[in-house]
Amino acid sequence: MAISSAPVAGTTGNWRAFDITATADGDTTLNIAHGLGRAPTCWYIVPICTDGTELAANAASSWNVQPAGVTATNVQVRKSVLVGSGTANPQARLFVWAGTE
């Protein structure tokens, strides 16, 4: 079981992007250090689907940002624990933005 994030290359300035992976159904919560230096003012998560396995995992995952977990250093994301929600490939991409860029 593991849940992790990886920064998306080329995201700098006032916005960042991270690919999120949860390899097991029971992996539910992750704090991502965003590196913006202040709390993001906007965030969203989109599914990553390149094949049927990822599509099924994303459909079961229900990723979301926890507003109480958005701070000057971290963004907390959670997913459901439904059967089939874990996979070895990135399941979602988180975008965070803090500024006027």
Q: Model's pTM, two decimal places?
A: 0.85
Reported residue count of the chain is: 101
Encode pLDDT of 43-78 as tens digits: 999 888 776 666 666 666 778 899 999 999 999 999
Secondary structure (3-state) at 16: strand
Return the higher-pLDDT residue of 14 and 81. 14
Query: So what CATH class is 3-97?
Result: mainly beta
Q: Decide: residue 31, CB within 10 A, 0-12 exposed, 13-18 middle, 19+ buried.
A: middle
List residues bridging with 18 in a β-sheet.
7, 94
Ordered by start, the domain boundaries in the chain are 3-97
